[in-house]
Amino acid sequence: MSEKICVIGLGYVGLPLAVELAKHHDTVGFDINAERVRELQSGVDRTLEVENEELKRSQLKVSDQLEDLKDRTFFIVTVPTPIDENNNPDLTPLRKASEMLGKVVKEGAVVVYESTVYPGVTEEYCGPILSQVSGLELFSQIKLGYSPERINPGDKVHTITKVTKVVAAQDAETLDRVASVYESVVTAGVFRAASIKVAEAAKVIENTQRDLNIALMNELAMIFDRLGIRTVDVLEAAGTKWNFLKFSPGLVGGHCIGVDPYYLTQKAEQVGYHPQVILSGRRVNDNMGSYVAQKVVKLLIKEGRNVKGARVGVLGLTFKENVPDLRNSKVPDIVRELKEFGMDVIIHDPYADVQEAQHEYNLTPVELEQFHDLDAVVVAVCHTFYKDLGFENIISRLKPQGVVADIKSLFIKEPERSDLTYWSL
C-alpha cells in the first residue's frame, strides 16, 4: 500500500531518513523546534548530515504544524532519548511526542519508534500513551513498530541506505508494512527481528558492547602508561591475531554510546539484576577526561613547569571528529579539571557553534591565532582539520619543552623530538 509518511523529530537521525523516504513516498518531516524547521525550509542543515543542495531539491515537506500530520498513515518517531543528571533514562521527549501523535493518529495507522530505548518502552510506555490520548485501541486500531537507527554522524560511508535496518512490529501484517517502507530506501535490506522488544534490545546492546570495548582499551591504556609502553604499539601487535577486536582508547561522549547503556542498566535494576560489567565500563569511560587532565599536569611538572597559570590549548570540543555535535562531549571534563589546577585554558574547534558551546558548557572557543606561547596542547578531537593543519604547525604554538597530549594518537607516527614531550593515550 502507498503510505503517507511522517517523521517526527528532524535531528541527526530523523532528517536523513525523512529526506530518503521523500524520494519514494509522500513524506512530511515534523519538528517542534521552530528555528530548526525554518532553517530546513530554507535548505540549511546545521548538523551537516544532509547537503544543502540535496535538501533544497528534496520533495520533503518540513513542518511544525500539527495540521500537516492529520492525513498520515505511517509515523516514524526519532526524538531524543537522553539521560538526566542521575544517569536515569529521561523519556520526556518520547512521552510528549506520543501525546502529540495521539491527537492526530487515525485508525489503521502504524507508529514506528526509532529512538534508542530499553526493551519494553515502545509497547509498555509509548503505546499506552498513544492509545489513551487517541482513544484508539492498540493492536486492533493502531499498530506499533520499532526500527532502531544505526546512523553514524559524520560518516559518509555507512549512510542510511547502506546499512541493514532491523525492523519489528506487533504482528506479521504490520511487520510487512514496516519492512516494505524501509526496504524502499535501504538498499542493504532489512532484518526482521523476532519482536519489538528484541529489536529494542539489539540496538541498546550494539552501543553497550562498543562502550565496554572502549572501556577495556581505556583501562589497558592506563596500565600500559604506568608500564612505559605505548598502547598503539601493543594494539598493533595484538591486532595481528585473527580474533582480536580492533578498538582504541579515547573519550566516549555523544548521546549514544555513553548514554544508551544506562537505559539497559536501569531496566536491569527494575527486574532485579544489578549490572556490574556494564556499569564498571561506564565508570572507566566517564573518568577519562579527568585522567587526561591529570596526565597533562604530571607531564608539565616533570618538565619543571609551573602548573598554576600554565597556558594550555585544547584542540577540539565536539564529542567526536568532523561533526558539530557538542552533546555530552567529554572534552569539557578535561578543560574543567585543568582549570581546577589553576591553568589558563583556551579551546578551538572548527565545527563547534560558539553560542551553543557557551550555552552548554560555558566555554567559548577562540580563533586558532590565539594558540601561541602554550605550555601544553591537548589534541582532544581528531578533526581532519587538525590532521591537515599538521604536527609542525601545532607544535609551533608551544613554548620550548612544551607538552603535547594527543588523545587519539593522531600524530603518533611523527618522529620523536627532544624539544617537546609527546604523550598519547
Ligand X SMILES: NC(=O)c1ccc[n+]([C@@H]2O[C@H](COP(=O)([O-])OP(=O)(O)OC[C@H]3O[C@@H](n4cnc5c(N)ncnc54)[C@H](O)[C@@H]3O)[C@@H](O)[C@H]2O)c1
What are the residue numbers of the active site? 256
Decide whether 13 or 109 has the Cβ nearer to ligand X.
Answer: 13
Decide whether 97 or 317 has the Cβ nearer to ligand X.
Answer: 97
| Cβ–Cβ under 8 Å, residues 207 and 256 | yes
Decide whether 9 or 289 has the Cβ nearer to ligand X.
Answer: 9
CA distance 88 to 263: 7
**Which helix (H) or strand (E) element contains residue 224?**
helix 196-227
Distances (CA, A) of 227 to 273, 296, 299: 36, 17, 16
SS3 content of the chain, % helix, strand, coil (to 5): 40, 15, 45
Residue 92: CB minimum distance to ligand X, A: 8
SS3 201: helix
Decide whether 66 or 237 has the Cβ nearer to ligand X.
Answer: 66
Binding site for ligand X (CB under 6 A): 8-14, 30-33, 36, 78-81, 93, 96-97, 100, 114-116, 149, 151, 153, 255-256
Residue 65: CB minimum distance to ligand X, A: 12
Q: What is the DSSP letter of 325?
A: -
Decide whether 121 or 343 has the Cβ nearer to ligand X.
Answer: 121
DSSP annotation string for 152-195: -TT-SSS-GGGS-EEEEESSHHHHHHHHHHHHTT-TT-EEE-SS
Residue 401: CB minimum distance to ligand X, A: 40
Task: Name 360's Cβ contacts closer than 8 Å, sequence gap at least 6.
Answer: 326, 327
Q: Which three cell numbers stand for residue 105?
A: 493518529
Residue 201: CB minimum distance to ligand X, A: 14
Residue 113: CB minimum distance to ligand X, A: 9
Residue 247: CB minimum distance to ligand X, A: 18
SS3 167: strand
Task: Name 415's Cβ contacts closer than 8 Å, sequence gap at least 6.
Answer: none
What phi, psi does 391 have (nearest 5°)? -65, -45
SS3 347: strand
Distances (CA, A) of 65 to 29, 36, 71, 356, 384: 10, 13, 13, 26, 39
Short-list 82, 63, 79, 80, CA closest to 22: 63
**Which helix (H) or strand (E) element contains residue 280?**
helix 277-286
**At which residue does the C-alpha cell 604530571 appear?**
298
Residue 259: CB minimum distance to ligand X, A: 7
Decide whether 118 or 386 has the Cβ nearer to ligand X.
Answer: 118
